Amino acid sequence: MTSNAELQNLDLIDLLSERHSLVRRISEKAWNDQSDIYISNSEWYIMARIYKKRPTISYITKNVEISRQAIHKFIKNLAAKGLVEINNVENNKKEKCIQLTALGEESYEKNEALKAQLESKIADKIGVKQVAILKDLLKLDWGIEQH
């Protein structure tokens, strides 16, 4: 774990990486401390893309920054844990759609609440206004997207 003193010498890319790793570890631990169902960060990422939707699996593979093979593996894992269900698409024999089960939705919503608690802790430490500014900065178009 990087100390606060070590953070002082990092550039933007490494600072983002360090903070991202830290909040992901804390978030993952918070979930694992209160649930018997292990869900990886990549699985959460996929669950976020399908929450309250019924996208096709091909839509997920085109719009998620994970390899097609890995996405299929994660979806299979999520289905085995009872978090998603895979259904045929009407009038299309090849295509499948995916959606969260009731357990999947409940798990996703519990995890969102845990993340909100972590964000609140951060806001208590650095200030609500600073968190809002940080979020706004991260949402800006940085003009660096790859095509």
Q: What is the model's pLDDT at position 48?
A: 95
pLDDT means per 10 residues, the chain with 147 residues, are 80 94 93 94 93 94 90 96 94 90 97 97 97 96 83
Q: What is the model's pLDDT at position 24?
A: 92
Q: What is the model's pLDDT at position 91?
A: 84
Spatial contact of 84 and 52, defined as CB atoms under 8 Å apart: no
Which domains are delineated in the chain? 12-138 (1.10.10.10)
**Stated pTM of the model:** 0.86
- Identify residue 136 by its one-letter amino acid code: D
**What are the residues whose beta carbons fall under 8 Å from the beta carbon of 131, sequence distance 6 or more?**
119, 122, 123
